[in-house]
């Protein structure tokens, strides 16, 4: 199976698909958004600086995020099957990631672009509620994505929270940041021939089927399931 690198507009469903892959296969999930939110939650000075950027829909600096990801990749993800969720988000990040992967000898990768309209992504962001313990996300606008008990995580039993950047106003800025800084990466990977595009505005089963077909280098989807 291939390592997965997600490129997507905000709230396209990177986290939800990552959860699915972690639950069913041997993937390790690295979400740069979660990493940054953990730093914010720690109350550190750096966390305060990060919070100011996230809350206004801006990106943290390439220098900082590359340093954080490089350390994780080399120390925790090396030798494992991994998902990068939220990195790279700029062209310099993508170029640096290539350099890191080459230096680590990691070549079996697929970049997955999640295709979603602005309208749908806005609905997914504004309706999203997240578990502060396990980061699982739910959505109040979709019955199939709602928790069993209103406002409570199915897995952890703790109260769900709204992300500070999931308001309609901040979402608009995040989307614009995506158009300006992240969308150019799509061409970068297209030219390298490793980009797969998946329409995520379909049922979870349909999306899962497409994901499986692009992460498998052989026809082994069922055999490699964790539960088997």
Which residues sit at the interface with ligand AMP, rule CB under 6 A? 10, 32-33, 36, 53-54, 58-60, 65, 86-87, 89, 93, 165, 174
Q: Compare residues 25 and 175 and give the one whose CB is closer to ligand AMP.
A: 175
Give me the least distance between CB of 40 and ligand AMP, in Å please: 9
Q: Compare residues 97 and 195 and give the one whose CB is closer to ligand AMP.
A: 97
14 is catalytic: yes
Q: Choosing from 56, 124, 174, 225, which is the catalytic residue?
A: 174
Q: Compare residues 108 and 176 and give the one whose CB is closer to ligand AMP.
A: 176
DSSP string, the chain: --EEEEE--TTSSHHHHHHHHHHHSSEEEEEHHHHHHHHHHTT-HHHHHHHHHHHTTPPPPHHHHHHHHHHHIIIIITTSEEEEES---SHHHHHHHHHHHHHHT---EEEEEEE--HHHHHHHHHTEEE-TTT--EEETT-GGGS-SSTTB-TTT-PBPB--TT-SHHHHHHHHHHIIIIITHHHHHHHHHT-EEEEE-SS-HHHHHHHHHHHH-SSS-TTTT-TT-
CA angle, 60 then 114 then 183, to 5°: 50
Both tokens assigned to 125: 């962001």
224 is catalytic: no
Q: Compare residues 1 and 51 and give the one whose CB is closer to ligand AMP.
A: 51
Give me the least distance between CB of 228 and ligand AMP, in Å please: 31
Give me the least distance between CB of 220 and ligand AMP, in Å please: 29
Q: Do residues 77 and 31 touch, judged by C-beta distance below 8 A?
A: no
Q: Choosing from 37, 89, 96, 124, which is the catalytic residue?
A: 89
Give me the least distance between CB of 87 and ligand AMP, in Å please: 4
Q: Choosing from 14, 37, 96, 124, which is the catalytic residue?
A: 14
Q: Compare residues 9 and 198 and give the one whose CB is closer to ligand AMP.
A: 9
Both tokens assigned to 119: 């309208």
128 is catalytic: yes
- Side-chain-side CA neighbours of residue 118 (13 Å): 10
136 is catalytic: no
Q: Which residue is nearest to ligand AMP (CB)?
A: 33
Give me the least distance between CB of 150 and ligand AMP, in Å please: 24
Active site residues: 14, 89, 128, 163, 174
């Amino acid at each position: 199976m291939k390592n997965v690198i997600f490129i997507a507009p905000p709230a396209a469903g990177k986290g939800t698909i990552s959860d699915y892959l972690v639950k069913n296969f041997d993937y390790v999930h690295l979400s740069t958004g979660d990493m940054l939110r953990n730093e914010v939650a720690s109350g550190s000075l750096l966390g305060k600086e990060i919070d100011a950027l996230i809350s206004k829909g801006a990106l943290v600096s390439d220098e900082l995020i590359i340093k954080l990801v490089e350390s994780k990749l080399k120390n925790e993800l090396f030798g494992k099957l991994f998902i990068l969720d939220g990195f790279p988000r700029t062209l310099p990040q993508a170029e640096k990631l290539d350099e890191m992967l080459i230096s680590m000898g990691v070549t079996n990768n697929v970049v997955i672009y999640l295709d979603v309209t602005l309208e749908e992504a806005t609905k997914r962001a504004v309706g999203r509620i997240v578990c502060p313990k396990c980061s699982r996300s739910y959505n109040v606008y979709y019955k199939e994505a709602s928790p069993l008990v209103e406002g409570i995580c199915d897995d952890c039993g703790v109260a769900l929270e709204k992300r500070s950047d999931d308001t309609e106003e901040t979402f608009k800025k995040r989307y614009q940041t995506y158009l300006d800084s992240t969308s150019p990466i799509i061409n970068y990977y297209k030219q390298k021939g490793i980009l797969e595009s998946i329409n995520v505005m379909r049922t979870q089963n349909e999306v899962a089927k497409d994901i499986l077909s692009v992460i498998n280098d052989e026809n082994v989807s069922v055999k490699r399931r964790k539960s088997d």
